A and B are shown apart, each in its own frame.
Chain A
């Protein structure tokens, strides 16, 4: 694969670059079509939208719900202070971090391992495409799904929060979404890496979720020492949403480190794919 790049580069660098890029786009297209045909493109965003709506709605109706729960003695006065809109948004992000992330990881866990298990990859990878184009096309489509779902869910949450609880400036929501999206992207990248590495899709999902949990846990246990790691991103996003002002230098360090780690993981996945093909 490397060899092909070298020789073709000598001949005509621009045409090689474009043809390689076109093949990458073709594969992205195929991935998106697959997401559409398997209805992932429908139900993953739907889960996020539901989660997003549920948070403000359940907060708003909490007193009513408690009243009707029936286990309270007659005459109980329920007085729950209505939280700020920004707080509800932060809670929404926390919802995305559990159920939303689970759904995303489950939807993407078989992206490479599934194709290898079924044997399709034997037909696809003998075509003149590079392992990195194959991996990046999967990565791109996974990220599109994650960002799309997050944006849809968060927008729904922001709208309902504004209606029921209180308006939040959209810039604030926007910033927290960017940071949170980066965290989801990191988790997706880990999923892709494990899906390439491990034979079983379930093991890939388990490893990815475990890895994400570990990263968050470490960052929250040692916020001073590990504030710059990807695991701290979700915390920063909650802070941003709840109108807090996080330490901007640590935040930017975490952003840079996360992006570097993601690029590293993709390269590692491509390398792994090439190696496992040779070893099979």
Chain B
């Protein structure tokens, strides 16, 4: 795994406001990376700096295979948030034009464009003027023109945000295919899209990186198993639950590292436990309850979701 792009202390200030404030991250070759954050976090600014449309106030970006800034534009395919095109051109012509601007010969560009319009699913409309395209078709055309010179890195700014649910799913499916062939970086404010597509995620908040890493790692590290328990509302059950939770808290206070439970919360006749070892904790709970003849109405094992984590990181 080698780093395709290293972003070091990237900062962009508009007047006194720092839209991006010392962002630091690495994009590994072949990975799909999501830049995740709420609106106004500095996602678009970061993307535009990487694409070379915006000059950073300070910091640098190091591309593998490019000596300096400027040259790296050949390595990048860029799709803006709401792409616009020359509406008087046909889709096919625009992709060929984009290819030629990237240094392909006319024949190469035509060949590549032909494959791509097919691939992104606008082959039927390729000979029509772009002015008649729908939003989803423009997004696909945007992808085709970004990919025409086989870039090392595909950079997209909110590729699906402006689309309706169907267009959104189509573009996501397309991206899922594309990420097998090239490194992808895209920004989004929808966690679900990042989770569905990406290997890595960089969560930014107020221009700073709040959390980054592989989605799997983050999920495994930060996600905790949870057992939700609900009892029938009779006297003995309630008493037992109160006592049980008290015991856990006491154990916690004594800093007993062997305790299976991390936290325990009681609400009325129900309780939720964050646990370290699901199986052992479940066994223990069921055993205890069987011994005391407690009336269980529901026992559920689950996980704290990435959504919870995202909200926590972003809202902190």
Given contacts A3-B70, A280-B53, contact A127 B86 (CB under 8 A): no
Residue A167, interface by CB 8 Å: no
CB contacts under 8 Å to A, within B26-64, are: 51-55
Q: Complex Cα distance A4/B103, Å? A: 14
Q: B55 contacts which chain A residues (CB < 8 A)? A: 277-278
The A interface, classified by DSSP as helix, strand, loop or mixed, is helix
CB contacts under 8 Å to B, within A224-247, are: none
Q: Which of B76-84, B217-225, B228-236, B253-261 binds A?
A: B76-84
The contact of A7 among B54, B71, B102, B142, by CB within 8 Å, is B71
Residue A19, interface by CB 8 Å: yes
The B interface, classified by DSSP as helix, strand, loop or mixed, is loop
Size band of the interface chain B makes with A: 20 to 34
Residue B68, interface by CB 8 Å: yes
Given contacts A26-B97, A277-B53, contact A119 B84 (CB under 8 A): yes
| B80 A26 Cβ-Cβ under 8 A | no
Q: B97 contacts which chain A residues (CB < 8 A)? A: 26, 30
Q: Complex Cα distance A13/B278, Å? A: 66
For A113-137 the 0/1 string (1 means CB < 8 A from B) is: 0000011101111111100000000
Q: Complex Cα distance A22/B105, Å? A: 9
For A1-33 the 0/1 string (1 means CB < 8 A from B) is: 111100110000000000100110011001001
Residue A58, interface by CB 8 Å: no
Size band of the interface chain A makes with B: 20 to 34
Residue B249, interface by CB 8 Å: no
Task: Output the least CB separation between A13 and chain B (Å).
Answer: 15
Q: B71 contacts which chain A residues (CB < 8 A)? A: 3-4, 7-8, 128
| B142 A123 Cβ-Cβ under 8 A | yes
Minimum CB distance partner of B98 in chain A = A127
Residue A68, interface by CB 8 Å: no
Q: B51 contacts which chain A residues (CB < 8 A)? A: 126
Q: Complex Cα distance A123/B74, Å? A: 13
| A123 B70 Cβ-Cβ under 8 A | no
Residue A34, interface by CB 8 Å: yes
Given contacts A277-B53, A278-B54, contact A120 B70 (CB under 8 A): no
Q: A125 contacts which chain B residues (CB < 8 A)? A: 53
| B53 A126 Cβ-Cβ under 8 A | yes
Q: Complex Cα distance A19/B103, Å? A: 7
Q: Which of A2, A4, A38, A127 has the most CB of B within 10 A?
A: A127
Q: Complex Cα distance A83/B54, Å? A: 61
| A23 B101 Cβ-Cβ under 8 A | yes
Q: Which of B54, B71, B78, B80 has the most CB of A within 10 A?
A: B71
Closest 9 CB pairs of A and B: A278-B55, A3-B70, A119-B84, A127-B101, A4-B70, A128-B73, A3-B68, A26-B100, A4-B71
- B interface, CB within 8 angstroms of A: 51-55, 67-71, 73-74, 76, 78, 80, 82-86, 88-89, 97-98, 100-103, 142, 145
Given contacts A4-B71, A124-B101, 16 further A-B contacts (CB under 8 A): A4-B68, A22-B100, A23-B100, A26-B100, A33-B89, A34-B86, A118-B84, A119-B83, A123-B78, A126-B53, A126-B73, A126-B76, A128-B73, A128-B103, A129-B101, A280-B53
Identify 30 residue pairs between A and B in the complex whose beta-carbon atoms are under 8 Å apart, listed by A's number. Answer: A1-B70, A2-B70, A3-B68, A3-B70, A4-B70, A4-B73, A7-B68, A23-B101, A26-B100, A26-B101, A27-B101, A119-B82, A119-B84, A122-B80, A123-B83, A123-B98, A123-B145, A124-B101, A126-B53, A126-B73, A127-B73, A127-B101, A127-B102, A128-B73, A128-B74, A128-B102, A128-B103, A129-B101, A277-B55, A278-B54
